[in-house]
Chain A
Amino acid sequence: MRSRIWALVARQFFVMRRSPMRIAEMVYWPLLDLLVWGFLSLYLNRLGHATPLPNFVAFFLGGLILWDLLFRSQQGISIAYLEEVWSRNLLNLFVSPLSVGEFLAATILISLMKLSVSVVVMTGLAAVFYGFNIFTMGWALAPFVAELLLMGWAIGIVTTALVLRFGQGAESLAWVLAFLFQPLSAVFYPVAVLPPALRAIAFCLPSSHVFEGMRAVIRTGRVDPRELAWAAVFDVAYMAIAIAFFYRTFALVKRLGLLAKTGE
């Protein structure tokens, strides 16, 4: 089992190590995000100097870096699948003894591998350009990061299932689906600013608890255990639903003969 998972990870590693474009892509968007939104937050911080919002830059850059983690963890999974579709290699994988569970585990590892590159770049640049060291928030942030990754992977698994079902016409979901959750995730503002109806929806998103929790860490230096717990509860639910959805979709595409068509 481990051999099969590592086979897929090795395949992505082989592609990446001789593809400067793929490596650049992992760095390019985080860099642009950080430059544009980082300088904007500095500017806004200066404008509101008379009554500055405490920790404005930290809130904003922390939110930006963590959102990027969620987006990239989702995208890592979807792109790992799409790479197989683009190279018409999907059937070779699914006529091997690779199981669906091993395939999903491998895409999660691949996502983690790509993510670590983006994180190193973003945290490094945030420190260089804005003197913002995300690690000053301490290890208190670590469980929130793990919860965000879980949510990103759950969205990535659902996205992949949808592309599997609806074909390459649906592949743009890999770039857009996570953003559906952004307005209600309270990335850059507290949940309290949302209208009551939307607050109820936001409550059901692990990400809203993570970003609220992050702001609490910045403000007080302490973890709010309730936010942590709610995020964990919803993460487990999201992950279970995503995996069940993937298995059902996989069975459906095999019944409809779509797997073979996707792979050719």
Chain B
Amino acid sequence: MNNSVNEKQLIIEDLKIDYKTDDQTVHAVTGLSISMEKGECLGLVGETGAGKTTTALAILRLLPKPQGRILSGSIIFNGIDLQAIGDAAMREIRGKCISMIFQDPMTSLNPILPVGEQISEVIRLHEKCSKKKAMEKAVQMMEMVGIPGDRSDEYPHQFSGGMKQRIVIAIALACSPELLIADEPTTALDVTIQAQILEMMRNLKRDMGTSTILITHDLGVVAEMCDHVAIVYAGCIMEYGTLADIYKNPLHPYTIGLFGSIPDLNSDVNRLKPIPGMVPDPAKLPPGCPFENRCDRKKEICKNVKPELKTIDGIHSVRCHCLEENV
């Protein structure tokens, strides 16, 4: 966070996003800031509804209209303000500079188009080559993700879940993007397939040098893939640091609670240890720290004043009032 702006690939500054429905307004993202360098893999960890997917969609300007609105904050990618550029320029960036993989492979592919066509489409769009060349490259991509190229004229329903997700990855990486956003890419898959997909993504990252934002709620996946980790809760970052920082020295009560709730294979437990209490309703967020109602070391100030994200050591930073004393 001390480097100059120009070296960072992605900088998100104090992002605030609301979803407005007929009945209420949901505060999905409440002041989120992160930054990434080229080639880095950042893990965004948090429960469902914490605002991770919303942030990802906002980067690509894919928030559902008219409900989703970016209230304030900036998203800068390679020095370009992604909110200020026109629609045509944004379309240039989607699929070519920044790509996204979505959560459910079963519904992410168009059921009436052959898979080869769905891959070559993005190639033809951004690389402006002939149909034939695009299809050749599409077949190459299929092989790279481990699917036989001669299946390129088959339809999505003819593939299994794991293979569908590989096709989705092939589409996302077809134009060699600089940044890949992967939203829970393995959540909907079996554990064995999960391992294969992660391995594949690791290799691709190594070969192509793509930066990745990996959104997940699974701490195990994060440990395998990420360099840096950001813990997201109620729409903002609670703790941020390197993999070692978070896993060896978690400081925020929520992070500690997350690790504590993972059952230990080696010891005998009678009960699981969940974090007591419930996530606050995003339509009715409290004025102070959003974790206050579940925290075991809260002070008077936690109810009224939302803490700032403060750097503790190196890049390890925490959003908590109770920490300056303990460190």
Q: Do A and B come from one complex?
A: no
**Residues on A facing B (Cβ under 8 Å):** none
